[in-house]
Chains A and B, each alone.
Chain A
C-alpha cells in the first residue's frame, strides 16, 4: 500500500534516480533559456524557435505576465471580500501559461482545466468573463468558438480526451491547426488522461498535451502521482516529450512551438511537462500550511517567472521608468475593469435555472418550469419567494 515518498527515481533517465531534485527544475531535458537571475543563455536546439522574440516582444510578454498576476491577485481579493464563490490562483504559473498560449495560432483550439485563466486572458477572454463562473452567475463565461478555447474543465483530466477528439477532427478535415490541452501533474494519474494518450498516439493526431507540473494536487505531492518524471510517462505511449522550465516564458514558448510545428506537419502528439510551482493555495478554500513546508515556497519564490524577465529587461536597459509606468497603468486598468465588471454583473433570473438544458423543447422540463413559475407567482413578490427558497 505504501508509496515510496523519497521521491521519483527508478527508470528515470538522466539525473540521479531517487532524489527529489528532478522535480525541482534541474532534471533531464529541462529546457531553459532565461536563468532565474535573468540571464539569457543560449540553447542551440531551442534558440531558433524564439529568434523572432526581440526587445519589443519581450516587453510584451512581460506585460502579459504582470497583468495576469494582477488579475489573479485582484480575483483572490474579490473572493476574500465575498464577491466570488471560489478562485483557483495561478500565482507562480504565469510563464507556463503565457509562454504556451502566446505560441499558439488563433485557429488552434484549447481545452484547459480551471487554473488556466492566464491562457484565457491571452486568448482574448475579457477579465469579467473569466470571473463569471467563479462568481456563480453563469455556467460558462464565454463562447468557446469566439476565442477557440473550451470553457474550463473541473473534472480532472476529462479535457485531454476532448482535445484528442478535436484533433481527430482536425486530422479528418485535413487542416493544419492543433488542439492543445492543459492539465496538472495530478491529472496524469486519471484514466482519462492515459486513454487520451493512447488515442493520440494510435491515430497520430495533432494534439499537444501541456502538463503544468506545479508539484501539488491539492495536498498531494507529485511524487505520489508518479515514480518517473511526468514527461517520461508519455514515452510509454509512444509520444515524444519535452521537459521545460515552466517558469521561463521563453523556454515554454520555444517548447510549445516545437510541439505545434510537429503536430502541424503530421508528426502527431507531443507531451510537454512544464516544471513550475503553485505558490498560492490550491483554491481560496485550501490551507496549504497543513501540508506544505514554507521553505519549499521560498525556494520557488527565488525562481519567480516574472522577476527573471524583469531582470533580463533590466540587463538590456529596457526596464525604464517609462516602461514601468506603462505596465503599472495597464495592470491598474485591467484590475479596475475586473472589479467593476465583477460587481456590476447582472444577477440571473430565477427561471434561468431551466435555460439551456436542451436545445429543443422537453416536455418534462417545460412542465416543471411552468409549475415553478406558478409557484413563484403565488408569492406577491417573486424576489421574496427567491429569498425564502432553498438552501436551509
Chain B
C-alpha cells in the first residue's frame, strides 16, 4: 500500500498500462512537457517518449477522431480532454463514430479508446471548466461510462478501461485530484472489482444513498452525520454509469426500502432519473417512499461565487434523506 493523491494514482495506472502494452498511446493537449494542466500525465512523456505520449494541436475533434483511426490500426488510445466543457467539439466523433463503430462493422472493428475527462465543479473555475456531461454519454449506446471516486479505484479502473475492448468515457472528479488515499499498486487486475460493478461503501438499514465521482465523499460524510442522529445510511458508489450495476442497488433498496440518488449534474434527464425509474421498476413493492434526487439545478454551471448553491452538499443530501424517510424536511407540507 502506498499513500498517494488521486492524480498520482491515475498517473501510476497510466504508467503501468504504457509499460504493459506497447499499443497503448496517450494523446491530448499539454499532456507531454507540461504533464497535463492537472499534472496527471506528469513525467510520462519523458519516460515513454513523444510517440507514446503525444502533445496534440488544439483540436478536440481531431484528438478523438484520430484515436478512431489508431484503434482501427490496432492501438489502444487514451485521450485526455483537458476539461469537461471542451468535450463538445469532439462530441460528434464520440457519439457518431467511436460509439457506433463496433456495431456498424458487425463486431469486426474494435474501439478500445479511453477518453479521460476531468469533470465536475467545486474548484472555483470560470465557465466551461466545471461541467457534468455524463448523461449525454450514458444516453449513447456503444459507450461505457465510468466515474471514479478514490485513488485506489482510479489506479485500477484506468487500467481496466484501457484493457477494455469497448470505448470508455473515464470521468475524473477534478476537485478530488489532491485527495490522498491508499493504493495497492501490486493489486493483480483480475482480482480487482470489475469496472462495471458498483460498490457498497458503508452498510446501512434505513436508506440507500447512491452517488458517484465527486459526491461519493460528500455522501459518506452525510452518512456519518446521519449516524449521529440515529439514521443508518447505506452508501453505494456507482462507479459505472453505463451500464449501471442495478443488481447491487436493487439488493440494497430491497433491504432499506428507500432510495436517494445524488449527482452534480442537473436533474432533468440526468442519471438520477434513470436510476430512480429502473429501481422503481425493479423494487416497486419494496419501496416505502418515492426515490429522491438531490442534484445540481437545471442551470448552466454557475459562476464561482454561487456554485456552492448548485452543488449538492452534505446538508442538502440529508434533507433529501429526511424526505425519503418522511421526516420533517424543507419540502414538508408540499405535495410532490
- Most chain B CB within 10 A, of A136, A217, A388, is at A136
* Least Cβ–Cβ distance between B289 and chain A, in angstroms: 17
A155 in contact with B319 (CB, 8 Å): no
* Least Cβ–Cβ distance between B66 and chain A, in angstroms: 9
* Least Cβ–Cβ distance between B271 and chain A, in angstroms: 17
CB of A294 within 8 Å of the partner chain: no
Q: Which residues in A have their C-beta under 8 angstroms from that of B121?
A: 391
Q: Which residues in A have their C-beta under 8 angstroms from that of B59?
A: 189-191
Among listed A120-128, A218-226, A266-274, A307-315, interface-contacting one: A218-226
* Least Cβ–Cβ distance between B36 and chain A, in angstroms: 9
A191 in contact with B29 (CB, 8 Å): no
CB of A41 within 8 Å of the partner chain: no
Q: Which residues in B have their C-beta under 8 angstroms from that of A357?
A: 298-300
Report Cα–Cα, A361/B57, bound state, in Å.
42
Q: Which residues in A have their C-beta under 8 angstroms from that of B307?
A: 136, 390-391
Q: Which residues in A have their C-beta under 8 angstroms from that of B218?
A: 392
B313 in contact with A218 (CB, 8 Å): no
B306 in contact with A352 (CB, 8 Å): yes
CB of A142 within 8 Å of the partner chain: no
A2 in contact with B51 (CB, 8 Å): yes
Chain A, 367-392, contact with B by CB distance < 8 Å: what is the 0/1 string? Answer: 01101101101100000011011111
B309 in contact with A353 (CB, 8 Å): yes
B331 in contact with A374 (CB, 8 Å): yes
Q: Which residues in B have their C-beta under 8 angstroms from that of A154?
A: 85, 126-129
CB within 8 Å of A: which B273-304 residues = 297-300, 302-304
Report Cα–Cα, A195/B138, bound state, in Å.
29
CB of B224 within 8 Å of the partner chain: no
Taking a contact as CB atoms closer than 8 A, the residue among A2, A3, A347, A353 that contacts B302 in the complex is: A353
Report Cα–Cα, A362/B267, bound state, in Å.
14
CB within 8 Å of B: which A87-143 residues = 114, 133-139
Q: Which residues in B have their C-beta under 8 angstroms from that of A186?
A: 57-58
A139 in contact with B303 (CB, 8 Å): yes
CB of B48 within 8 Å of the partner chain: no
Taking a contact as CB atoms closer than 8 A, the residue among A138, A224, A375 that contacts B303 in the complex is: A138
Report Cα–Cα, A133/B124, bound state, in Å.
11
Q: Which residues in B have their C-beta under 8 angstroms from that of A220?
A: 29-30, 55, 57-58
B33 in contact with A290 (CB, 8 Å): yes
Chain A, 262-287, contact with B by CB distance < 8 Å: what is the 0/1 string? Answer: 00000000000000000000000110
Taking a contact as CB atoms closer than 8 A, the residue among B58, B126, B314, B316 that contacts A375 in the complex is: B316
B55 in contact with A224 (CB, 8 Å): yes
* Least Cβ–Cβ distance between A385 and chain B, in angstroms: 7
Given A86-B126, A134-B126, A189-B58, also A291-B33 (CB < 8 A): yes
A390 in contact with B308 (CB, 8 Å): yes
Given A136-B126, A378-B330, A391-B121, also A385-B315 (CB < 8 A): yes
B331 in contact with A391 (CB, 8 Å): no
A372 in contact with B311 (CB, 8 Å): no
* Least Cβ–Cβ distance between B91 and chain A, in angstroms: 11
B331 in contact with A190 (CB, 8 Å): no
Taking a contact as CB atoms closer than 8 A, the residue among B32, B88, B299 that contacts A365 in the complex is: B299
B315 in contact with A388 (CB, 8 Å): yes
Chain B residue with the shortest CB-CB distance to A288: B34
- Most chain B CB within 10 A, of A154, A348, A357, is at A154
Report Cα–Cα, A134/B124, bound state, in Å.
10
Given A139-B303, A186-B57, also A386-B308 (CB < 8 A): yes
A2 in contact with B58 (CB, 8 Å): no
CB of B133 within 8 Å of the partner chain: no
Q: Which residues in B have their C-beta under 8 angstroms from that of A155?
A: 85-86, 88-89, 128
Given A139-B303, A375-B316, A378-B330, also A389-B309 (CB < 8 A): yes
* Least Cβ–Cβ distance between B258 and chain A, in angstroms: 19
Taking a contact as CB atoms closer than 8 A, the residue among B54, B58, B299, B306 that contacts A190 in the complex is: B58
CB of A364 within 8 Å of the partner chain: yes
CB of A165 within 8 Å of the partner chain: no
CB of A169 within 8 Å of the partner chain: no
Chain B residue with the shortest CB-CB distance to A184: B58
Report Cα–Cα, A386/B37, bound state, in Å.
30
Report Cα–Cα, A189/B334, bound state, in Å.
53
CB of A350 within 8 Å of the partner chain: yes
Report Cα–Cα, A290/B43, bound state, in Å.
11
Q: Which residues in A have their C-beta under 8 angstroms from that of B310?
A: 353, 390
* Least Cβ–Cβ distance between A320 and chain B, in angstroms: 42
Chain B residue with the shortest CB-CB distance to A134: B126
B54 in contact with A1 (CB, 8 Å): yes
Taking a contact as CB atoms closer than 8 A, the residue among A137, A187, A388 that contacts B58 in the complex is: A187
Q: Which residues in A have their C-beta under 8 angstroms from that of B89?
A: 155, 190-192
CB of B118 within 8 Å of the partner chain: no
Report Cα–Cα, A191/B66, bound state, in Å.
14
Report Cα–Cα, A157/B62, bound state, in Å.
14
Report Cα–Cα, A2/B45, bound state, in Å.
13
* Least Cβ–Cβ distance between B118 and chain A, in angstroms: 13
Question: Which residues of B come within 8 Å of A, CB atoms?
Answer: 25, 29-30, 32-35, 37, 50-51, 54-55, 57-62, 85-86, 88-89, 121-122, 124-129, 175, 217-218, 221, 267-268, 297-300, 302-316, 319, 329-331, 334
A-B CB contact pairs (8 Å), 26 listed? A1-B54, A85-B124, A85-B125, A86-B126, A133-B303, A154-B129, A155-B85, A155-B86, A155-B128, A189-B57, A190-B59, A218-B34, A218-B37, A219-B32, A219-B55, A224-B55, A225-B57, A354-B299, A374-B330, A374-B331, A375-B319, A375-B330, A378-B330, A386-B308, A391-B313, A392-B314
Q: A154-B85, A354-B299, A362-B298 are in contact. List 17 more A-B contacts (CB 8 A).
A: A1-B51, A136-B307, A155-B85, A156-B58, A189-B57, A190-B89, A191-B59, A217-B29, A225-B57, A350-B306, A357-B299, A364-B268, A368-B267, A390-B309, A390-B312, A391-B308, A392-B314
8 cross-chain pairs, A with B, having the tightest CB-CB distances, nearest first: A390-B308, A136-B304, A219-B34, A390-B311, A189-B57, A375-B330, A391-B122, A389-B313
